[in-house]
Structure 1
């Protein structure tokens, strides 16, 4: 059996409805006087006057530290979820700005604002939210990781394999990656206790580009990598304890080329066939 509201509760709900109608009539300039609006809608004049200044209804009033109502906070949570789903999670400062906009929309004078730490307290009150360090994510790469597009691509590959009877030993995944030499990575260092925050590390001047070519087979084995340095001549004595099957090449800019890729792939594949 559904709960039965008391008479006082029903009266409070009915009065709140009349107050909202009176506020709407005043804002639309249908009634110019607060006293006349209170008389026509049968609500206390002081209640109507306080509500026009931005005071919230008692049923929605929260602790002093909660300046937004439950409905406003839930709307803010949904706004955060919406941005997060689109890969644009907001910063705490943005959450604070939206909270101030919600307070300003009440039309109260003076306009209320949240405190500097309000966003962090707001996150603590909502276990579904948390703060994390973000990382840059290229939009074009994000599109390539769309599950629908990925499934369509693999379906096409599977149809091609079945149509032409391709053996797994004849399927290769070939890719290249590059990195700059001499870039200092983030690491824990020992320094003076008087320093505050992260300690800066000087970057060496060497910024030469190195390219690595990798190739794997659908059967589960991989060809040795091909490392391409910038230069004219490669001397193996520069490095110690390198695997004997790795291939090293040089190019004017440290990038790969059609010729280097073709020679490296054919040489590694031929060596693989000899071992088999």
Structure 2
């Protein structure tokens, strides 16, 4: 496409969504079988909240700011107080914590804002 249509690297984008557990594992227990045939696993007590992030980068290295989906109905002020979520990031409270049609449309609007030029 680049040779045929003259599309510049800044107009080639790759994006993906990935999920991860919020927080850092501090105290964990290592579980291993006595016969050592299974790989040891680290486990942590308690429930973990999962977050889904949509990340996007252009072929020239330009990065679209993160778009996070959290299982919430509203934004919480504490998300922004300690600086762990930057004010330029988009946080989308969702019922299930993953994308749906409304969240997908919000991400496309986010993408368009950051890639206009």
TM-score (normalised: structure 1): 0.32
How far has the Cα of 1:243 moved from its partner?
Answer: 1.9
Q: Does 1:227 align with 2:68?
A: yes
SS at match of 2:97: coil
Looking at structure 2, the residues matched to 170 and 202 of structure 1 have their Cα atoms a distance apart, in angstroms, of 42
Task: For structure 2, list consecutive stretches of 5 or more residues without a partner in the other structure.
Answer: 29-41
Equivalent residues, number:
105
Report runs of 4+ in structure 1 exceeding 6 Å deviation: none
Which has the higher Rg, Structure 1 or Structure 2?
1
Higher relative contact order (CA 8 A, sep 6+): 2
For residues 17-68 of structure 1, what are the alpha-carbon distances to aligned partners after superposition, in whole Å with 9 as ceiling and x for unaligned? xxxxxxxxxxxxxxxxxxxxxxxxxxxxxxxxxxxxxxxxxxxxxxxxxxxx
Match of 2:6 among 148, 158, 165: 165
SS at match of 1:224: strand
How is 1:90-239 mapped onto 2 (pairs within 5 angstroms)?
A: 160-181=1-22, 184=25, 202-204=44-46, 206-239=47-80
Partner residue, 1:253:
96
Task: Considering fraction of residues, name the structure with more strand.
Answer: 2
TM-score (normalised: structure 2): 0.68
Task: For structure 1, list consecutive stretches of 5 or more residues without a partner in the other structure.
Answer: 1-159, 188-199
Give the conservation status (yes or no) of the 8 Å contact 1:228–1:248. yes
Alignment root-mean-square deviation, CA: 3.3
Looking at structure 1, the residues matched to 9 and 98 of structure 2 have their Cα atoms a distance apart, in angstroms, of 30
Task: Considering fraction of residues, name the structure with more helix.
Answer: 1
